[in-house]
Amino acid sequence: MKYSITIYLESKEDVIRKIEVDSKISLLEFHQFIKESFKLQNDELASFYITNNELELLKEIPLVTFEENLDNLNMENTNLESILNTKTNRLIYIYDYMLMWRFLIELTNDQGETNKAICLKSIGEMPKDAPELNFSEEKNTESYEESLEDEYNQYDEF
């Protein structure tokens, strides 16, 4: 199944990517695609986090499994649809534990089929330094997204 996903960098400046991916890809493949889409370096650790409605970090799915991870979950053995779906439609992705690049991942649609990952829309440039963390449930991303629809209309394919 095709997932349409919007990824927001937690930043003062707008840095957003709208992408489409196959729901069955592994989190490792998704991690690689996020790095490509945001032009991140290739040599840092990262984790996905399952969240609640208040965006509290509930469960970590790391790039590398450590002994503390009793579930033995990692990006390689977990597929995207198992943690991102209509019931749990948001994740937090943290890249580089020292700089703490933090992204909100939001499932916006789950219809159709695709066999490749593409970036449909790219808004904003990545800042040189990681921004301060400030995601909260109070942000209304839907109305913000709608206001950007008319202003930006560029498509990039990877």
Full domain range(s) for residue 55: 2-151
Cβ(63)–Cβ(42) below 8 Å: no
Model pLDDT, residue 141: 47
Residue 37 lies in a domain: yes
What is d(CA 146, CA 95) in angstroms, rounded to the nearest whole number? 27
What percent of the chain has a predicted confidence (pLDDT) above 70? 80
- Report the greatest alpha carbon distance in the chain: 48
User: What span, in angstroms and rounded, lies between the C-alpha atoms of 81 and 113?
Assistant: 14
Residue 158 domain-assigned? no
Q: Please give the model's pTM, rounded to 2 decimal places.
A: 0.77
Residue 25 lies in a domain: yes
Q: What is the mean pLDDT of residues 54-71?
A: 81
Would you say residue 156 lies in a domain? no
* Residue 6 lies inside a defined structural domain of this protein: yes
Q: Which CATH number goes with the domain that contains 94?
A: 3.10.290.30
- State mean pLDDT over 120-127: 87
- Residue 13 · residue 34 · CB < 8 Å: no
Q: Return the pLDDT at 153.
A: 47
The whole-number average pLDDT for the span 62-66 is: 82
Contacts by 77-81 with C-beta closer than 8 Å and gap 24+? Answer: 77/26, 78/26, 78/27, 79/23, 79/24, 79/25, 79/26, 79/27, 80/3, 80/21, 80/22, 80/23, 80/24, 80/25, 80/26, 80/27, 80/30, 81/1, 81/3, 81/23, 81/24
Give the C-alpha separation, 158 to 155, whole Å.
10
Looking up tokens 């969240």, which residue turns up?
A: 51
Instruction: Identify the pLDDT of residue 135.
Output: 56
The count of domains in the chain is 1
Average model confidence (pLDDT) for the chain?
A: 83
Query: Would you say residue 60 lies in a domain?
Result: yes
